[in-house]
Amino acid sequence: MEPLRISFLWHHHQPYYKDPLTGGYSLPWVRLHAIKAYYDMAAVLKDYPDIRACFNLVPSLLKQLRDYEGGSAKDLFLERTMKPAEALEPDERQFLLRYFFMANWATMVKPWPRYHELLQRRGLHWDDESLRQAASQFTTRDYRDLQVLFNLSWFGFKAVDELPALREFRKKGQGFTEEDKAEVVRCQYDILRRVIPLYRDLEAAGQVELTTSPFYHPILPLVYDTDIARRCMPHAPMPERFQAPEDARTQIGRAVESHTRILGRRPQGFWPSEGSVCPEIIPLLADAGIRWIATDEEILLHSMPIPSRIETLYRPYLVESGGRELAIVFRDKELSNLISFDMGNMDPRAAVDELFERLHVIHDGLSGRKGPALATIILDGENPWENYPESGKFFLTELYGRLSRSDHFRTVRITDEIESRPPRERIHHLYSGSWIHHDFDIWIGSHEENRAWDYLNRTRRALLPLLNDDAIPAAQREAAWDSIYAAEGSDWFWWYGDDFTSAHDDEFDRLFRAHLAGAFRHLGQAVPEYLSRPIIHLHPIKHVTEPMNFIHPELDGRQTTYFEWQGAGCYDATSRSARFGAEHLISAVCYGYDLTHCYFRIDPADGWGPEERKSHEIQIHFFGGPAEYKWVLPCAVEDKPRFRVERSPDGIRYETIGELDSLAMARILELAVPFDMLGWKPGERHHFIVEVREPSAGSSVLSGGSAGKVIETCPPNGYLTLEVPDRDFEQLMWSV
């Protein structure tokens, strides 16, 4: 019997971490995975020339690697690494204690005695108070060792084999100098600059095949049309329909172009992000010159009648749609997931034994079948190795060594297999879904995910006339489009909702909104207010005193009597759990009403007095109703202060509906707005947040003024709600 052909497709991908405002990288994972898995996975193949493999290099990852290659990429973690330990500020020390143990503790911390000791001294929990207490117990020497060990622990086994300095630092283990630290970073850049050339050389030698994905890793079916999700999720709540087939085509076309330019060969194979497929994307891929795609076995099992899994799964197919066709292969879910999630905790030889036993079962089960037999193993090529001792060194060398010697199995590149054994069977009705549960639930359907799609939809619709306006310079329009494409990436939606969480959820949320904001900025437009509101954790605040009685305060900027705000709603901003390093400018927000006006009181925090407030303004944003509103208040004390009330039907275009002088500023800020001006009716509920901003000058086609920089938001991760009262309000509250 012929050997069972095995194709490994290792997927390399990271979110697009480049901050569109600063140009820096807010998270370090491209740099750290590059010196670990990206280099290991290619370099180890040089020791096994008979092994063939496929790699999927996502274009947005290559773009970031090129930045690091050229030395232009800087990330916050690298800046904190390079700062001399004796010069670290208190907040920077707490940053190190919070984030510089972000590695697998079993495989990347415990093997280093000094690193493990520092972890134990910091403690296994890292709330703000614990970090403050730990920071006072760490010396300059401790912080310097932590800076070095965090970076040192991320090097993969091939980098350690090839760079003597790394082996010396491993032996040293502690007591590092600033010169040692600089050498560790130099070694990182040495490895970083080798990664892309190594993959390029391996493909030129015929040992690997390099494939691509949509440029910014979007879920193509959802970018094409979010209603496609209804096919596999008929009962899930959906956002307002987003349809951008042309964006899906562009994400594919740009991927092929950049892959060809950077790696020197046009890609034949394509891994749709997260294995997400639908019939509509087949013509787009064929038009781009793609010859084959890959997805999960469950897509196959839902696309056609299946006599038996073993008879059906282990072969390539043709898939056709819209008069076009491609080859398609399906990952063996069990084998792929074993390597991804289970075998890191096993003895490497025992793990490979189990893998071979399963491969023999497949080989023997296909002994009577005619035609090609191909087992496709597709998995993440970076994250699993954090769970393996020595970054997977012993597992990979055992696996590749035994495959090289085996008469029953032969590793192949997928294009070679399809060319030598063209597929014959056709799939006429491709199921729409992804590699996770054969649906799109990870990226759409929850409240947060749907809100993100609505933000994307609202932004794209608002800017489309300008994006298609030839009077605007092409470079500006191209940069704006690029920001929208970046926001279409799957990673932002991955972290919304309850499916997954990380220590950086807030940062992923901020980056998503920053990419959308960048599209407005590139076109010279003010950033809409909705993009300043976090999506994640945007929920009603529970720990707030609700309004209980009508109030009639005297607007003089002082608490004239104890009773004038008694019965108002109040949010105590000093009790909130703020983000690390956030400023505290507001201590309380109170709000209430009578039958004709709503009243607000804002109490500045200690240290934010009249002089400090001169360069700031306060904006109160109302949303959740048929229209959005904002009240724009100056913060500096004036003799006759006035504030502006604006209304927007869509959260983008605001118009001023009035200017009022019912504002007083002294120790506190007090103001009133008549319900008649707002058009609010009894029983309506309006959500609101309060922002402190640094206003910036300028005007905008869309919103009439620049939004300015947000300094503080109250509440930071939620909203308060004002319900317009009727004449029975006090009686109802008394009954409650």
Please state the φ and ψ torsions of residue 217, each to the nearest 5 degrees.
60, 45
Asked if residues 373 and 315 have their Cβ atoms less than 8 Å apart, the reply is: yes
Q: Report domain extents, the chain.
A: 12-44+71-191, 447-525, 539-735
Report in angstroms the alpha-carbon separations of 723 from 168, 494, 651, 662, 726.
Answer: 67, 34, 20, 21, 10
Helices marked H in 28-156 — which ranges? 29-33, 39-43, 59-69, 76-82, 90-99, 113-122, 128-135, 140-153
pLDDT of amino acid 706 = 43
CA distance 139 to 125: 20
CA distance 736 to 400: 71
Q: Which H/E stretch holds residue 248?
A: helix 245-263
Closest C-alpha to 333, from 279, 295, 305: 295
CA distance 61 to 73: 13
CA distance 332 to 11: 15
Cβ count near 561 (within 10 Å): 10
pLDDT of amino acid 703 = 38
Weakly modelled stretches of the chain, pLDDT under 70: 537-539, 542-543, 575-583, 637-638, 696-708, 730-736
Q: At residue 318, what is the residue type?
A: L
Q: Which two tokens stand for residue 479?
A: 């940069």
Q: Which two tokens stand for residue 678?
A: 């707002």
pLDDT of amino acid 85 = 98
pLDDT of amino acid 291 = 98
pLDDT of amino acid 398 = 98
Helices marked H in 443-588 — which ranges? 447-467, 474-487, 490-495, 505-522
pLDDT of amino acid 485 = 98
Asked if residues 234 and 433 have their Cβ atoms less than 8 Å apart, the reply is: no
The overall longest dimension of the chain from CA atoms, in Å, is 94
Rg of the chain in Å (alpha carbons): 29
Asked if residues 271 and 211 have their Cβ atoms less than 8 Å apart, the reply is: yes
391: left (phi over 0), alpha (psi -120 to 50) or beta: left
Is this model's pTM higher than 0.75 or not? yes
Return the ∠ at Cα 251 (arms to 249 and 257), rounded to 5°. 100
Cβ count near 729 (within 10 Å): 19
Could you tell me the fold of the domain covering 539-735? Immunoglobulin-like (2.60.40)
Q: Which two tokens stand for residue 246?
A: 């042309």
CA distance 248 to 488: 10
CA distance 141 to 175: 7
Q: Which two tokens stand for residue 697?
A: 């000058």
pLDDT of amino acid 538 = 60
CA distance 397 to 399: 5
CA distance 695 to 704: 13
Q: Which H/E stretch holds residue 189?
A: helix 178-204
CA-CA-CA-CA torsion for 285, 287, 292, 296, nearest 10 degrees?
Answer: 20
